[in-house]
Amino acid sequence: MTDSFGQISSHYGDAGIGDRILAALREEGVDIDALTPEILAPIDQFHTRGIVATREHAALAAPHEDMHILDVGCGVGGPARYLASTYGCRVTGVDLTAEFIAVAKMLTERCRLDHFVDFQQANGLDLPFADASFDMVWCQNVTMNVEDKAGFYSEIARMLKPSGRFTSTEMTSGTAGPPHFPLPWARVPEISFLVPQADMRAALETAGFRILEWRDTSADVVASAQRQTERVRYAKLGVGLVAGADMGDRAANSGRSLAEGRLVNVMMLAEK
């Protein structure tokens, strides 16, 4: 791994995440041996608008039970468990951050979804699967940490069967100057690699994708940003358990940067 990958993993990883989540659930009277994706949803959806965005994203991508989906940058596995439990599909999650993969496996076993969902630590730029292994590739709020977007998209194209679909929700750069740091995906600018929407589209097309849908979802994110930031700051069961105690400030900076046109949030669907 190059230094930047090490820095990205250190930004996200923390040895105490699993214990922190289980302790908080116990304190709230939750039976940690009978977890469900619904119980975990306030905690395990590490992206703008949380489970609301995941539902919307799934409605756009239309997964179904015959599919095997690859979730690249799966975090602690919230979206992967949601897809498997809601649509009955098989999901494989990969993530750069080893601690997240360990937590993803632990939570999935406690949800008894491990027959449908599996995880392994891997870099999205060098995936440990044969060509054309998956029906769909899913990616939520990951490419902000990926400098080599051309390499990332061509590796995703390699994963897909012919006519397979790639669906992604991402932050891109706005026109009003750099965003305010620290941000959810980077406390410092050195590990944030934002590009304008047009460059992201061009990189996808160069990798062989035909873009079927491209939505600017910034206004929706801005509309819910204050509520989401307050939830992160004050709710006992929140994404801060995964993202760290400073997540409230980072989420606030993300909302403010979107409102000022320094970031643009997009949700897209493309076909190989």
Ligand X SMILES: C[S@@+](CC[C@H](N)C(=O)[O-])C[C@H]1O[C@@H](n2cnc3c(N)ncnc32)[C@H](O)[C@@H]1O
The nearest distance, CB 158 to ligand X, in angstroms, is 14
Closest to ligand X by CB, 46 or 166: 46
Instruction: Identify whether the C-beta of residue 75 lies closer than 8 Å to the C-beta of residue 95.
Output: yes
Distance (Å, whole) CA 139 – CA 58 = 11
Of all residues in the shown chain, the one whose CB is closest to ligand X is: 75
For binding to ligand X (CB under 6 A), which residues are involved?
8, 12, 45-47, 72-75, 78-79, 95-97, 100, 123-125, 140-142, 145-146, 184-185
Phi, psi (5° rounding) for residue 21? -65, -45
Q: What is the DSSP string of 175-232?
A: SSSPPPSSBTTBSSGGG-----HHHHHHHHHHTT-EEEEEEE-HHHHHHHHHHHHHHH
Distance (Å, whole) CA 21 – CA 6 = 24
The nearest distance, CB 223 to ligand X, in angstroms, is 19
The nearest distance, CB 175 to ligand X, in angstroms, is 23
Closest to ligand X by CB, 100 or 209: 100
First to last CA, the chain: 28
The nearest distance, CB 26 to ligand X, in angstroms, is 22
Closest to ligand X by CB, 62 or 98: 98
Closest to ligand X by CB, 142 or 222: 142
The nearest distance, CB 212 to ligand X, in angstroms, is 21
Distance (Å, whole) CA 101 – CA 248 = 23
**Tokens standing for 175?**
């026109």
Closest to ligand X by CB, 66 or 190: 190
